């Protein structure tokens, strides 16, 4: 069982913070297949947030195949994270390095590149939310 905590000033939507915390716990091994997630009522009693926020986070995790609801019992972990991401990290790093070098070559400085990167990341995340 894990407990959630919120960073209310981060600007990251609450349901996404819950998703990220479960994913993080899966990566670190704090959660393993078979473990039960806290119920919506338990989470909201502690965090004073809208229960639909918790359900939305759980649905998202379910869509990713990481958890599954068992009617009348609760929501249980059924997937794992880790292994593959390491390779994905390396691939992303290679591609970013190539893009950054090309940008520098065309006269952009670190701040320019960072601004574009952050805004692309942001826009893409927005698209995922909508």
Partner 1 sequence: MNALETTGLGKRYRRAWALRDCSLAVPAGKVVALVGPNGAGKTTLLHAAMGLLTPTRGEARVLGEAPRTSRTLARVAFVAQDKPLYDGFRVSELLRMGRALNPRWDDGVARCRLAELRIPLDRRAGKLSGGQQAQIALTLALAKRPDLLLLDEPLANLDPLARSEIMGHLMSTVAERDITVVLSTHVIADLAQTCDWLILLSGGRVQVSGDVEELLGAHQMLTGPVEAADALAASTPVVSRRVVGRQVHLLVRASRPIPDPRWSARPVAMEDLVLAYLREPDAAALPRPTLATLAPEGNR
Binding residues (CB under 8 A) for partner 1: these are 6, 8, 11, 14, 39-42, 44-54, 119, 122-123, 126, 129-130
Cβ proximity to partner 1: between 49 and 66 the closer is 49
Number of Cα atoms under 13 Å in the Cβ half of residue 43: 30
| Closest CB 54 distance from partner 1, rounded Å | 8
Cβ proximity to partner 1: between 26 and 49 the closer is 49
Element (H, E) at 68: strand 67-70
Could you count the other beta carbons within 10 Å of the beta carbon of residue 35? 16
Distance CA(68)–CA(73), nearest Å, equals 11
| Closest CB 61 distance from partner 1, rounded Å | 17
| Closest CB 92 distance from partner 1, rounded Å | 24
Cβ proximity to partner 1: between 53 and 66 the closer is 53
φ and ψ at 8, to 5 degrees? -75, -15
| Closest CB 50 distance from partner 1, rounded Å | 5
Cβ proximity to partner 1: between 18 and 26 the closer is 18
Question: Contacts for 59-63 with beta carbons within 8 Å, 24 or more apart?
Answer: 60/15, 60/19, 61/19, 61/22, 61/23
């Amino acid at each position: 069982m894990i407990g959630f905590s919120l960073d209310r000033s981060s600007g990251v939507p609450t349901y996404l913070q819950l998703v990220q915390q479960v994913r993080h716990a899966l990566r670190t091994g704090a959660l393993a297949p078979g473990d039960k997630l806290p119920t919506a009522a338990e989470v909201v009693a502690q965090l004073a947030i809208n229960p639909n926020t918790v359900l939305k986070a759980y649905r998202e995790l379910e869509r990713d195949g990481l958890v599954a609801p068992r009617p009348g019992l609760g929501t249980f972990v059924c997937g794992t994270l880790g292994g593959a991401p390491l390779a994905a990290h390396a691939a992303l790093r290679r591609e970013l390095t190539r893009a950054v070098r090309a940008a520098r070559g065309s006269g952009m400085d670190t701040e320019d590149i960072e601004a574009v990167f952050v805004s692309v990341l942001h826009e893409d995340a927005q698209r995922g939310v909508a």
